[in-house]
Structure 1
């Protein structure tokens, strides 16, 4: 029985559970055990094990809460918390004088927001965590947890890990008022593990203020140190490098603790411990990255990599978020004019391809015979068998007729049926085409420039362009991928008509026609930016796709 890797895992789980007596009957309705029965049992057992393992991790996390992890649940605790932040800043300015000068800030802490999701525009924050390094203490300020026990999809929540309606947490407005002055201060540096989403800076804007002094992004910093990391997530990086800066023991990911869900319905105690560990990890990683970058000497005395990061990368988080939220004004009338201009030019370019390469009926026939050689061969063999069967059937009917005529029984139904059947077979034989390539049907009746096989025939067979696919895609041949054709277009004069078509198609289908559909409700084009998002280290950008654009149709009115 063929099994996928996932199915094999489920089968092995069932085998193990049967041996230990963990599972009951696998039969869904009696009789033999089917593959579906085994896979269903395996899925159930796997879900139960994951639930059990998650419950154990949650219990251990709650049991082992460090004494320097503080989770605030009373608004009256906020002034004391802010005083601790001030104390941290005063101590850093006294004890770490000029440590962060290269980054343009006087102090540094690590922060993180927990949210209802990861959509930077529509999800809301539910709590804020911060690590104060010299004081060696972390804080979690919860203000958006919700009771979702009994709701569909949240039946896994129990009293040990669920937020309950009567549980205490802080008031959102009071938390924001308390943390805004510090987070908005340019002089006091912040480190977040944000990467391309710049999630935390977006969150602050939705809450009514802007984070300033965000001079360290530990995800981007890791990309600067080693662009070939298998994963740039915080937990994988801590698991890999944590031993270098004193982080040992199990490192639980968000999914390990909460699954593929928002932390909002979980208890403030559980989320708080997890969140404070995150900012502790983020701080330790930031310190280590800063030290690693500072090791390479330069004329200024600072590390070359650190100098580059300070001058350029440290400015990118706030810049990227500004650009993303600001968006681009698009000249829709100009795009419409371009579409009207380019569409006939594209049609002319396509006709030029037909004319330049003499794509006629003979061309199509040769292309068909080349691309469908096996189909033609199969048709010839099948036709030969049809002709042979017809001939054999005719001989059989002739034998019946001869037998009846010899016995003088030409009035029998057997005789008349044989005569009629022979006539049918003879008509069929006259209509059967000869079993050869010349008479095989066309499996392709026209050349289509967007068909990869047709394009491959034109390029590699008809024009004889040397196949260089293997230089770009190991083990592949006769590629018509855009990135390979672009190389051909630069080097092969014979492909100029195709290059013109490709240029107009890219202009129309990638930009002119697509951009209007990507506009947001404010009429602008918004994009998320990622430093080093390409193999060459350049910026990359991707359009915001979290909110369906057709939601705007409900606001349309007849004009």
Structure 2
């Protein structure tokens, strides 16, 4: 007993000692001011006992790393101070703030040095004889690089203050100031009129970076540029869709060493900040603007070499992406006609609905701010004791999961939908209408890594159905929408060659009903539209195509993770061709670290090979222990699997499965994107021939303004433009609607029956 008491006392003393040492270590860590090397390179232990990485140990873009190294060197050289009392407050964010201060401090010197080092073949065009000589030299060129300098970025309100051109044959680069506030310069109209033959000549190639902007700016001043040869911004997205920045100066800093530009190229913001370009002195404007086209010219030559080594990518750029720039310009110039009266009336209705919803919410939750996450969290988790499964979150996903716990949650979701509809769309969109009475957004053809179109100001992909009703057709016109039906499943059917998956399309059957009948092994009569089997299959097919995690699929279908895994297994058993195709993609991306669409668009996954090999090896070890063909969904619960093996597998599982999901998605969705782009090119050409306008694309739909006297034959021509964009081994289908107001479409057959 005495020994036991002594042992207890010793253990108690030992615990006290450990606690004392831990407290002392924490105190020392709190007082510790990290060294310069610790802050930047090695990291250090914080007062909480965690290892804080050094600034240069963090995940950094190439641009940020270069800037941070510049800051470190400048501080060490005494060029700039940190302005901090302690090293521990020097973070990556603070270091980048210091970089901006460093650039401001250096700005005058940088600009002076730029002017002093202005290349001898950079020329200002300030007189009529100089302009005349330039025009003569342009006639001997087969292509030129072009750029505009402007008062801002609004292509419908800002103005051109100068143009720069690079002439490869004549071997010089010019800046033509036309609206600077000081300095000798020519009149803008005179310059544009002199350059009009060159700018509108389709046989003289133009090379630009982000050409769409410059084309819009020239249209602003009455000139429609023709003859786009190459857009270095778009080409770069094809050569590397993973770039962190597509700004010309940032790309030049990264790749310039390969085509003769060794020094860092500073961006407009770094050099001029909020200064408008018409306030910039002409000697500075020359070296900045002429360098832009000089860079663009050399960048084009370098990109061209790489594209010519990749035939399919070259063809994709030449035949689809490059010619699509003009289509985007036309869609943006056409814009959306907004019904202001409807917006005002609808806004009043929504405000009344919001007031009614707020009254219900006050009864349910009390008089609080229903837009305040902290106040909502207090009511939900402290007062009402609702289940907290997501760190006191009150986001939409969490609220949807809580709907069954309290009747007021449904009202809160409705309230949020109403306030977003009102504030983001119904009230906001009319405020963005330009002087021509239309809302002009932006269509981005290479913004996404799969090549799908996106849009902004407004984002049409996210525009709620009710907000679409703000958009109307002009007098004498109709909105016609032609939408590819199930384009991605059809592409999967084509690529996989699975005879059972192709069968519904070949026989004109409903895809989801047929799939549900085979996978769930129930009569097809029980899988018709509206059935639970068909609904589950629509969700399940997306999971199959894009590798949705078992956890997410289980939540979507309302089943266990094991049942979700069983669903996928049953699907692949029923459709072995689809399974074989997906496995082949996994193997291909492991071998090559990229995948391609039918038209050669690439999606690259650098570093995947080694992780995938480790993943496969670890999965084989687990399967040998469990005696299963695949790693069980509940592998963490299986005691026979060593913990170290579980942890090693878990470490690579997320990254590898993410790449596998993205690779299959990139092929299917990327091919659909290419098909849609080819369809848009054909629809655009047909609309122009009829005097109509293509004005938008949303997902797999083309939207156009057509005559209200359009005939069934003309609608069929539009559909043929869509359908002839691709030749698959399953038939394609488009659904077409006509309408006066977007969102109130009538199927073409009903429309023409009414007209008759």
TM bucket, shorter chain: 0.5 to 0.7
Deviation of 1:543 after TM superposition, in Å, equals: 5.8
Partner of 1:229: 243
Secondary structure in 2 matching 1:88:
coil
Alignment gaps of 5+ in structure 1: 20-44, 90-107, 148-162, 297-301, 365-444, 469-476, 545-559
The correspondence for 2:150, drawn from 115, 139, 148, is 115
Partner of 2:163: 128
Distance (Å, rounded) in 1 between the aligned partners of 2:427 and 2:76? 52
Partner of 1:191: 207
Partner of 2:110: 57
> Could you give the per-residue CA deviations for residues 76-109 of structure 1, whole angstroms, max 9, x where no partner exists?
23232222212112xxxxxxxxxxxxxxxxxx42
Distance 1:112 1:463, change over 3 A: same
For residues 534-549 of structure 1, the aligned pairs below 5 Å read 538-542=453-457
Deviation of 1:460 after TM superposition, in Å, equals: 5.4
Distance 1:490 1:232, change over 3 A: farther
Equivalent pairs counted in the alignment come to: 371
Partner of 1:210: 224
Distance 1:515 1:486, change over 3 A: farther
Mapped pair 1:170 → 2:186: yes
Distance (Å, rounded) in 1 between the aligned partners of 2:80 and 2:238? 50
For residues 295-444 of structure 1, the aligned pairs below 5 Å read 295-296=309-310, 302-304=311-313, 306-347=314-355, 349=357, 359=364
Distance (Å, rounded) in 2 between the aligned partners of 1:343 and 1:256? 44
Deviation of 1:240 after TM superposition, in Å, equals: 0.4
Deviation of 1:334 after TM superposition, in Å, equals: 2.6
The correspondence for 2:416, drawn from 502, 507, 510, is 502
Distance (Å, rounded) in 2 between the aligned partners of 1:250 and 1:518? 37
The correspondence for 1:219, drawn from 233, 247, 252, is 233
Distance (Å, rounded) in 1 between the aligned partners of 2:280 and 2:347? 52
Asked if structure 1 preserves the Cα contact closer than 8 Å seen for 2:163 and 2:177, the reply is yes
Distance 1:486 1:71, change over 3 A: farther
Partner of 1:156: none
- Segment of structure 1 superposing worse, 76-85 or 314-323: 314-323
Secondary structure in 2 matching 1:87:
coil
Secondary structure in 2 matching 1:131:
strand
Deviation of 1:145 after TM superposition, in Å, equals: 2.8
Deviation of 1:534 after TM superposition, in Å, equals: 5.8
Alignment gaps of 5+ in structure 2: 1-30, 34-54, 56-70, 82-97, 460-756
Distance 1:72 1:328, change over 3 A: same
Deviation of 1:112 after TM superposition, in Å, equals: 0.8
Distance 1:84 1:347, change over 3 A: same
> Could you give the per-residue CA deviations for residues 138-197 of structure 1, whole angstroms, max 9, x where no partner exists?
2222332332xxxxxxxxxxxxxxx4xxxx4334333111111111123333222237xx
Distance 1:310 1:455, change over 3 A: farther
Distance (Å, rounded) in 1 between the aligned partners of 2:308 and 2:272? 37
Distance (Å, rounded) in 2 between the aligned partners of 1:465 and 1:534? 37
Partner of 1:455: 376
> Could you give the per-residue CA deviations for residues 504-537 of structure 1, whole angstroms, max 9, x where no partner exists?
3333332223333333344322323434446875
Mapped pair 1:141 → 2:176: yes
Deviation of 1:488 after TM superposition, in Å, equals: 4.0
Mapped pair 1:253 → 2:267: yes
Partner of 1:480: 394
Distance (Å, rounded) in 1 between the aligned partners of 2:128 and 2:214? 23
Distance 1:15 1:80, change over 3 A: closer
Partner of 1:523: 437
Asked if structure 1 preserves the Cα contact closer than 8 Å seen for 2:156 and 2:434, the reply is no
Distance (Å, rounded) in 2 between the aligned partners of 1:455 and 1:52? 46
Distance (Å, rounded) in 2 between the aligned partners of 1:267 and 1:18? 27
Deviation of 1:241 after TM superposition, in Å, equals: 0.6
Distance 1:116 1:331, change over 3 A: closer
Q: What is the TM-score when the length of structure 2 is the normalising length?
A: 0.43
Partner of 1:446: 367
Mark the structure with the bigger radius of gyration: 1
Deviation of 1:52 after TM superposition, in Å, equals: 7.4
RMSD of the TM alignment (CA)? 4.1
Partner of 1:181: 197
The correspondence for 1:291, drawn from 282, 286, 305, is 305
Distance (Å, rounded) in 1 between the aligned partners of 2:287 and 2:226? 26
Distance 1:247 1:492, change over 3 A: farther
> Could you give the per-residue CA deviations for residues 114-148 of structure 1, whole angstroms, max 9, x where no partner exists?
2334442333222211112244322222332332x
Distance 1:85 1:512, change over 3 A: same
Asked if structure 1 preserves the Cα contact closer than 8 Å seen for 2:146 and 2:208, the reply is yes
Distance (Å, rounded) in 2 between the aligned partners of 1:286 and 1:293? 10
Secondary structure in 1 matching 2:146:
strand
Bigger relative contact order, structure 1 or 2, given CA contacts below 8 A and separation 6+?
Answer: 1
> Could you give the per-residue CA deviations for residues 189-217 of structure 1, whole angstroms, max 9, x where no partner exists?
3222237xx43223212322111233533
Partner of 2:138: 85
Distance (Å, rounded) in 1 between the aligned partners of 2:416 and 2:137? 62
> Could you give the per-residue CA deviations for residues 273-332 of structure 1, whole angstroms, max 9, x where no partner exists?
322211111112223233334433xxxxx223x333334432344333333343311122
Deviation of 1:239 after TM superposition, in Å, equals: 0.9
Distance 1:337 1:191, change over 3 A: same
Partner of 1:75: 128
Secondary structure in 1 matching 2:418:
helix
Distance 1:488 1:221, change over 3 A: farther
Asked if structure 1 preserves the Cα contact closer than 8 Å seen for 2:230 and 2:300, the reply is yes
Distance (Å, rounded) in 2 between the aligned partners of 1:239 and 1:177? 35
Distance (Å, rounded) in 1 between the aligned partners of 2:441 and 2:288? 31
